[in-house]
Amino acid sequence: MWPGTSGRARRPEVPAPSSRHLHGGCTFAEQPDVAAPDATIIWHADLDPGILTVAADPVPPGSDGESLDPRELARWLRIARGSDGTEHAVLSDGFHRIRLDVAAGSLAAGVPVILRYELAGIAAVEPKLLPLRRLLYLCRHRRFAQSLFVRDARMTRWILLLRVHDAEAAGATQRDIAGALYGIGADWRETSDSLRSRVRRLVRDARAMAAGGYRRLLRAAPHQSDGDD
């Protein structure tokens, strides 16, 4: 794995996900107690349509302004190498991420390259346009463009489902969950039908998410309008 050089700990190389079913569809290279911004999770291309497939070609003469030096992005770059030698890379500061699959050449070699992008079709290209703009901005300005990483409005519910799942896994009842989320006390039986139904839906959806529904989150990502920083 390419080592970070700006305040981020070195990590051992981790195996890239070899199929959408292995390890839940991504690499779980971190201990559960590692803070989310410091975790290195690399999703499989089958589940993340926004992954950019690139070839890292040698820099030809006269390519001023077109080459990428991986050493200049080292503070954000993590690479997992697949069994076939393919490099699966993520550029992330812990809160923003850009995924690359290097089909030819290497970023881990640490030498300047020209990136050649694999884009084809119409519908298949659309989810890759925003990640491409994010990558170009990062390469030009050496920072992530905040306006190109608008918070997903569904995040609040996803966090709520995580809380419900963790509570149920710890042995909490639906009444306990209602009390923690909505301040419902011992009078659970006198609570309105709508609130009880809301809690039941949360429990149902949390179980479905934990059973594999999380794999659909990346594919269901809404398209984002263009923006500038």
- The answer to whether residues 113 and 160 belong to one domain is no
pLDDT of residue 26: 63
Q: Quick check: is 3 in a domain?
A: no
- The answer to whether residues 54 and 114 belong to one domain is yes
Altogether, the residues listed in the chain come to a count of 229
Residues 46-72: pLDDT tens digits? Answer: 788 889 999 999 998 877 789 999 999
- The answer to whether residues 167 and 99 belong to one domain is no
- The answer to whether residues 67 and 168 belong to one domain is no
Q: Across residues 149-178, what is the average pLDDT?
A: 90
> What residues make up the domain containing 124?
22-148
pLDDT of residue 137: 96
pLDDT of residue 221: 58
Decide if 138 contacts 144 (C-beta within 8 A): yes
The more confident residue out of 6 and 35 is 35
Mean pLDDT taken over the chain: 81
Task: Taking the CA atoms of 214, 222, 138 and 50 in sequence, report the sign of the dihedral they define.
Answer: positive
DSSP-H helix ranges across 69-154: 126-141
Amino acid identity of residue 85, one-letter, is G
- The answer to whether residues 110 and 27 belong to one domain is yes
Count of the separate structural domains present in the chain: 2
Q: Quick check: is 188 in a domain?
A: yes
pLDDT reading at 3 higher than 50: no
- The answer to whether residues 75 and 108 belong to one domain is yes
Residues 191-222: pLDDT tens digits? Answer: 677 888 889 999 999 999 888 888 787 776 55
Choosing from 91, 113, 148, the residue where a domain stops is 148
pTM of the model: 0.72
Measured in Å, how far apart are the chain's first and last C-alpha atoms?
30
pLDDT reading at 223 higher than 60: no
Q: Quick check: is 84 in a domain?
A: yes
Q: Quick check: is 222 in a domain?
A: no
Choosing from 148, 183, 204, the residue where a domain stops is 148
Q: Quick check: is 9 in a domain?
A: no
Residues 111-153: pLDDT tens digits? Answer: 999 999 999 999 889 999 999 999 999 999 999 999 999 888 8
- The answer to whether residues 38 and 105 belong to one domain is yes
The more confident residue out of 105 and 8 is 105
- The answer to whether residues 99 and 75 belong to one domain is yes
The residues near 145 (Cβ < 8 Å, ≥ 6 apart) are 133, 134, 137, 138, 227, 228, 229
- The answer to whether residues 29 and 128 belong to one domain is yes
Q: Parallel, antiparallel, or unpaired for β 97-105 and 52-57?
A: parallel
